[in-house]
């Protein structure tokens, strides 16, 4: 590290967190069969952490709302200023859900387009309404979710039985025969009315006195549909910090959109070769820098990350920086390229670090140092002897997501048997915790890892942690590769994690 980080190096790493169960939504009962359409396929906190969205394979988006911060003797900011520790764990409640995508059929290519939600991204709120982007393989939609108050008349200022209509004629005093023969705009003969009609009519129109809001309903409305811009499956969408634009990425291209313009996008990255036989890698994930609106990063199936600057040219064929780890001599095998493919990347909150997830590891990259990752966390090293079996059952192609804590001190990712792992990434930290998506997340015994070795070589500087080989799950059984925890999200300001295990949403805090 440079001289400005000397104090940070000397500081003691934070102690390991003790994770506790918070709540679960959609918990399965014993023996319950999970429907394919109910499996959660995307999860995302908003910028404040007060709202959480999930998407599933059935094309639905479900929103949850934070409830434990409504009142606690003052605002959360005041409590934090007083160093007041929140005594209650974070609690969310179901807010609403809506059908975001429907199954479609591409008649030109004879392909079915699944309704499965691939990604959800929150946009800036305005006038109390929530805005978010959701996408399936081909179509991105921009949603607005707003509360609508249903108003009803609670008190009348006249007796309804004696109420007079517009024009002062009691409707009950008009005989059915007269009413049935009135012409449009006509008026009944006064001889049929028992009510003494004053000369000149009744001067005022009677209105209800009190109108109250009896209930509030949530209305989700699709404001924009961004379609027909991708030939391949969309794997990523990411909002820009300018609040006006976003990107969408498929295997070969990245497009730039304006939120207000749905019929036009700009292709900013194109890795498609003139001859498809020359194709050597595809785009796997893309994300905007959190604060610099001109910078974004995208990962590839070859395990590299490219940082590009939109100010350089309209089509960013060349990258500003390339991040990739050098392959160890003699380590190449049939599975090398498959397990090197990056399935997800995330910027840290300040934008200096990029976290990447490939099949075997988590890697933390410093954008100021492109010689190699600063930290490597072993997630699936114990599966290396089983790569042949994983290839046969297609598990080796599973795409696990990753996330960072808001303070940048920890990283997390999922694994099999509904397990997920949390690593400390501060200097000197040995934190490596394996948790299970259940009501007792810590029940699985985890051996304490040895102190990580630190190498400051000329090629790369790397910390490798979590190299233990947990061969069994929490119940002592061998790992179940059919139950996989692919999707998880870290609360932006607190040590709280939401993760998806099949159709269940589990939440934990520390």
Q: Give residue-wise pLDDT tens across range 256-290.
A: 999 999 999 999 999 999 999 999 999 999 999 99
Query: What does each C-alpha distance from 145 to 44, 63, 123, 141, 344 come to in angstroms?
Result: 16, 10, 11, 13, 28
Q: What percent of the chain has pLDDT over 90?
A: 60
Q: For 481, which DSSP code?
A: T
175, pLDDT greater than 90: no
Which of 82 and 337 is assigned the larger pLDDT?
337
Q: For 10, which DSSP code?
A: H
Average pLDDT, the chain: 82
Mean per-residue pLDDT, 295-302: 96
pLDDT for residue 314: 84
pLDDT band of residue 150 (cuts 50, 70, 90) is confident
pLDDT for residue 205: 53
Could you give the CA distance from residue 329 to residue 148 in angstroms, rounded to a whole number? 63
85, pLDDT greater than 60: no
114, pLDDT greater than 90: yes
Q: Residue 345 pairs with which residues in a beta bridge?
A: 356
Question: From the CB of residue 260, how many other CB atoms can be counted at a distance below 10 Å?
Answer: 10
Question: From the CB of residue 341, how many other CB atoms can be counted at a distance below 10 Å?
Answer: 19
Could you give the CA distance from residue 311 to residue 4 in angstroms, rounded to a whole number? 29
Which of 33 and 239 is assigned the larger pLDDT?
239
149, pLDDT greater than 90: no
Longest CA–CA separation in the chain, Å: 109
pLDDT for residue 198: 64
Could you give the CA distance from residue 3 to residue 420 in angstroms, rounded to a whole number? 35
Kindly give, in sequence order, each residue whose CB lies less than 8 Å from that of residue 232, ignoring residues fewer than 6 positions away. Answer: 250, 251, 252, 253
CB of 335 within 8 A of CB of 396?
A: yes
DSSP per-residue string spanning 21-80: EEEEESPPPTTPPPPGGGSEEEEEE-SSSSEEEEEETTSEEEEEEE-TTS-SSS-HHHHH
Query: What does each C-alpha distance from 310 to 173, 255, 315, 360, 469 come to in angstroms?
Result: 76, 12, 8, 32, 43
Mean per-residue pLDDT, 315-319: 87
pLDDT for residue 95: 94
Residue-wise pLDDT for 424-436, tens only, equals: 998 888 999 999 9
pLDDT for residue 176: 44
pLDDT band of residue 440 (cuts 50, 70, 90) is confident
Least-confidence region, from 207-211, 387-391, 479-483? 207-211
Q: What percent of the chain has pLDDT over 70?
A: 75
Residue-wise pLDDT for 385-425, tens only, equals: 999 999 999 999 999 999 999 999 999 999 999 999 999 99
pLDDT band of residue 76 (cuts 50, 70, 90) is low
Mean per-residue pLDDT, 232-246: 96
Which of 125 and 153 is assigned the larger pLDDT?
125
SS (H, E, C) 67-89: CCCCCCCCCHHHHHHCCCCCCCC
pLDDT band of residue 129 (cuts 50, 70, 90) is very high
Question: What's the start-to-end Cα distance of the chain, in Å?
Answer: 29
Highest mean pLDDT among 190-204, 237-251, 315-329, 419-433: 237-251
Burial state string for 278-294 with b = 16 or more CB within 10 A and e = fewer than 16: eeebbbbbbbbbbeeee
96, pLDDT greater than 90: yes
462, pLDDT greater than 60: no
Could you give the CA distance from residue 414 to residue 421 in angstroms, rounded to a whole number? 6
Q: Residue 412 pairs with which residues in a beta bridge?
A: 403, 422
Least-confidence region, from 209-213, 316-320, 387-391, 444-448? 444-448
CB of 369 within 8 A of CB of 456?
A: no
343: closest CA among 384, 306, 404, 299? 299
DSSP per-residue string spanning 138-190: S-EEEEEEEEEEEEEEEE-SS-GGG---TTS--GGGS-HHHHHTPPTT----G
Could you give the CA distance from residue 348 to residue 140 in angstroms, rounded to a whole number? 25
Q: For 284, which DSSP code?
A: E
445, pLDDT greater than 70: no
Least-confidence region, from 41-55, 263-277, 401-415, 443-457? 443-457
Q: Residue 457 pairs with which residues in a beta bridge?
A: none
Tell me how long the chain is.
Answer: 510
Could you give the CA distance from residue 254 to residue 448 in angstroms, rounded to a whole number? 42
pLDDT for residue 463: 46
pLDDT band of residue 300 (cuts 50, 70, 90) is very high
């Amino acid at each position: 590290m440079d001289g400005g980080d000397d104090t940070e190096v000397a500081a003691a790493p934070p102690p390991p967190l003790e994770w506790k169960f918070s709540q679960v939504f959609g918990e399965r009962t014993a023996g319950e069969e999970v429907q394919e359409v109910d499996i959660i396929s995307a999860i995302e906190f908003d910028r404040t952490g007060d709202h959480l969205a999930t998407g599933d394979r059935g094309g639905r988006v479900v929103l949850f709302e934070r409830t434990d911060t409504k009142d606690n003797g003052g605002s959360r900011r005041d409590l934090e200023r007083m160093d007041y520790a929140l005594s209650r764990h974070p609690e969310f409640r179901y807010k609403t859900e809506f059908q975001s995508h429907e199954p479609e059929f591409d008649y030109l290519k004879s392909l079915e387009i699944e309704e499965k939600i691939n990604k959800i991204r929150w946009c800036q709120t305005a006038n109390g309404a929530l805005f978010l982007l959701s996408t399936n393989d081909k179509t991105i939609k921009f949603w607005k979710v707003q509360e609508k108050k249903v108003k009803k008349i609670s008190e009348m200022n006249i007796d309804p039985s004696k109420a007079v209509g517009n024009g002062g004629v009691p409707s009950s005093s008009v005989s059915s025969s007269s009413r049935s023969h009135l012409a449009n705009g006509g008026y009944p003969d006064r001889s049929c009315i028992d009510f003494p009609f004053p000369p000149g009519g009744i001067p005022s129109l009677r209105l209800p006195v009190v109108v109250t809001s009896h209930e509030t309903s949530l209305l989700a409305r699709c404001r924009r549909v961004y379609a027909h811009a991708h030939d391949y499956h969309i794997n990523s969408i990411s909002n820009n910090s300018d609040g006006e634009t976003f990107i969408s990425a498929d295997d070969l291209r990245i497009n730039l959109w304006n939120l207000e313009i749905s019929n036009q996008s700009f292709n900013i990255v194109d890795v498609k070769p003139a001859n498809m036989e020359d194709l050597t890698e595809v785009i796997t994930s893309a994300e905007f820098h959190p604060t610099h609106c001109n910078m974004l990063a995208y990962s590839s199936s070859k395990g590299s990350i490219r940082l590009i600057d939109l100010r350089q040219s309209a089509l960013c064929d060349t990258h500003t920086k390339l991040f990739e780890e050098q392959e160890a001599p003699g380590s190449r095998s049939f599975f090398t390229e498959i397990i090197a493919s990056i399935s997800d990347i995330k910027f840290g909150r300040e934008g200096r670090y990029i976290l990447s997830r490939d099949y075997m590891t988590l890697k933390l990259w410093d954008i100021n140092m492109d010689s190699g990752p600063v930290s490597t966390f072993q997630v699936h090293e114990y599966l290396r002897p089983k790569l042949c079996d994983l290839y046969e059952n297609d598990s080796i192609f599973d795409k696990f997501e990753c996330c960072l804590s808001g303070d940048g001190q920890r990283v997390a990712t999922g694994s099999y048997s509904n397990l997920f792992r949390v690593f400390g990434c501060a200097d000197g930290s040995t934190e490596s915790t394996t948790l299970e998506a259940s009501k007792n997340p810590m029940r699985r015994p985890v051996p304490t890892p040895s102190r990580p070795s630190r190498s400051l070589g000329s090629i790369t500087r790397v910390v490798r942690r979590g190299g233990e080989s947990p061969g069994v799950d929490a119940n002592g059984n061998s790992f179940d590769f059919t139950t996989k925890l692919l999707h998880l999200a870290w609360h932006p300001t607190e040590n709280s994690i939401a993760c998806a295990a099949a159709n269940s949403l589990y939440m934990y805090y520390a």
